[in-house]
Structure 1
Amino acid sequence: MVSSLVIGIIFSVAGLALRYWINRRKFYRRGPMGAEGFSSYESSVFVKFIERIGKWIAYGLIVFGLLSIWVYTREKKHKEKQGVEIQKAR
């Protein structure tokens, strides 16, 4: 039960950190006029493609983390409900 919470927090933080890192790289790649600077066309295409994949992976991590946290809350509520029913039966 607690493993769902730990996994959820780890994956959510990892996804948010990945998004932050990608956006930070993109920000610092911009010049004074706001245009991104690349050494060649190929590096531009490759970097943008990798960053796009990284963002989708980050979204997946965040969603998986949130679902794991949701599962934890559902399990906790179910366990508490069972405990209340057992106490009422006594």
Structure 2
Amino acid sequence: MVALLVIGILFLVAGLSLRYWINRRKFYRLGPLGAEGFSSYKSSVFIKFIERIGKWIAYALIIYGLLSIGTYYWEKRNPEKQKVQKVK
């Protein structure tokens, strides 16, 4: 049961840090006029595609982490299920 809490926290931290890292890279790529600077069109398309996939992975990690933490607290508050597990 404690494993759910640990896994939830790890996935939540991983997802938030991935989002932070992607947004930080995008921020430092901005030029003085607010336009993103890339060395070529190919790198622009590739980097934006990878960052989009990374953001979806980060969202999935955050949602899974929150669901794991929620499941941990839901099982902690449900004493009937804990009694059934102790009897077996």
Give TM-score, length-normalised by structure 2.
Answer: 0.89
Aligned to 1:67: 67
State the shift of 1:81 in Å.
8.1
Q: Per-residue CA shift, 1:7-47, capped at 9, x if unaligned?
A: 00000010000000000000000011100000000000000
Question: Which is higher, the Rg of structure 1 or of structure 2?
Answer: 1
Q: How far apart are the structure 2 equivalents of 1:79 and 1:7?
A: 22
SS at match of 1:39: coil
State the AA in 1 paired with 2:2.
V
Equivalent residues, number: 83
State the AA in 2 paired with 1:73.
Y
What runs of 5+ residues in structure 1 fail to find an aligned partner? 84-90
Q: How far apart are the structure 1 equivalents of 2:57 and 2:79?
A: 33
State the shift of 1:79 in Å.
3.1
Task: Show the 5 A alignment for 1:9-20.
Answer: 9-20=9-20
State the shift of 1:78 in Å.
1.2
Q: How far apart are the structure 2 equivalents of 1:82 and 1:67?
A: 19
What runs of 5+ residues in structure 2 fail to find an aligned partner? 84-88
Give TM-score, length-normalised by structure 1.
Answer: 0.87
Give the conservation status (yes or no) of the 8 Å contact 2:75–2:81. no
State the AA in 2 paired with 1:49.
F
Q: Per-residue CA shift, 1:41-74, capped at 9, x if unaligned?
A: 0000000000000000000000000000011001
Q: How far apart are the structure 1 equivalents of 2:34 and 2:40?
A: 18
Aligned to 1:32: 32
Q: Percent identity, please.
A: 76
State the AA in 1 paired with 2:12.
S
Q: How far apart are the structure 2 equivalents of 1:82 and 1:37?
A: 56
